[in-house]
Amino acid sequence: MYNFIDLFCGAGGFAYGFEATGKFKCIGAIDNKKAAIETHKLNFKDSYSLCEDIRKVPPELFEENLQGQKVDVIIGGPPCPTFSTIGHAKINSIRNPKGKSVNDDPRNDLFLDFLNYVDYFQPKIFVMENVPQFLTKYKGGTFKRVQELMNQSFPDYEIHHDVKVLNSVNYGVPQNRRRMIMVAYKKGYKYKYPEISHWFEGSRFNIDPNENHNNGKTLKPHVTVESAITDLPRITDNWRVSECEYSTSANLDEYQKLMRKRTSDTVQNNICRMSNDRAKKVFSHMKQGDIYMDLPKEVRQILPFREDIFKDRLKRLVLNKPSWTILAHIGMDGYMYIHPTQLRTLSVREAARIQSFPDHFIFVGNQMETYMQVGNAVPPIMAQRIAESVVKSLDARK
């Protein structure tokens, strides 16, 4: 069993995927969102889960609560840095004497604190996820600076020579979600990105990191929104009972069985936000796949938005396709995630299913907080595939 810590852990989608391999144990996690840490504590009972700003918790202090356990792997998703110059050998020297980053952007501090934990714990491997733009921001300048920093400050580590963007849809998640996955390892270790297992036929969103897809002919078809949500309890937007019975337990498909593997007859967090009558009237005119600007002008006037910047302010999901990316903005409103067949937006549990959280994973907090936890997460199924590749790297050196 390998131990890992999760920085900027959120609810724990990344960590759940690692633990789902049966080869990893989460021994520590940190995030500054109280509800997210309460969710993490509930679902990772053996982890030291701390609610605090990582900038206030030096790794020496964090280590005191790990009960002497060795850290083999560090995972996390620090905000994308924006530093314009890196020319020093040590992490602390990138900050000025007052502890500020070179260009005073707080995201730099958070990214550097992630690396500070790496510097202190010296894990065999660390895995960092971020937005795809991490690789292209400032014409690739941000990533180039990261490489320079790694070469200068971490001579014992190698970044995988070809950092990849992965799409969760190609690993059996019913969602197009592209994320940059950077893997770095102590010299002597190797890493290969996980082979994909699913293909979204006719889509431009497929990503095969090892380019072995043969146009998807040997892969499983994508998992659909229909598979993700249609066995869940039937609700209305005024439904306020968190735990209720499934709508069906007959003829479940592979994905539904996986999501329900450790549950019985009921599921929690299946509550959605209220939609006003005007919104519902507009929803009734939308076909699956429609966006706001597909509607006739007279319908748009029922619920008017600035049409020059809110062209897809409303979007209705399609049953036989994967969802588009579930964003944290779902915590503010769900208009970009309208149920395919009902006059309401997605429930927290439906969004969690689309993210591939199993039904026994319970979210803590108010409605906005639980939605945001789902939207901010790494899809657990994709995380598990990444973790399985990390296991191969670690086992190869035993």
Residues belonging to the active site: 80
Instruction: Determine the Cα–Cα distance for residues 296 and 287; give it in Å rounded to an integer.
Output: 12
Instruction: Determine the Cα–Cα distance for residues 6 and 126; give it in Å rounded to an integer.
Output: 10
Q: What is the dihedral of CA 104, 179, 129, 273, to 10 degrees?
A: 80
Where does the chain show beta strands of DSSP type E?
2-7, 24-31, 48-51, 73-76, 125-130, 157-159, 164-167, 178-186, 198-199, 220-221, 244-245, 266-267
164 CB-side CA count, 13 A: 19
Please name which of 8, 13, 1, 21 lies closest in space to residue 44, comparing C-alpha atoms.
13
Instruction: Determine the Cα–Cα distance for residues 364 and 10; give it in Å rounded to an integer.
Output: 12
Instruction: Determine the Cα–Cα distance for residues 110 and 226; give it in Å rounded to an integer.
Output: 38
Q: What are phi and psi of 7, to 5 degrees?
A: -100, 140
24 CB-side CA count, 13 A: 31
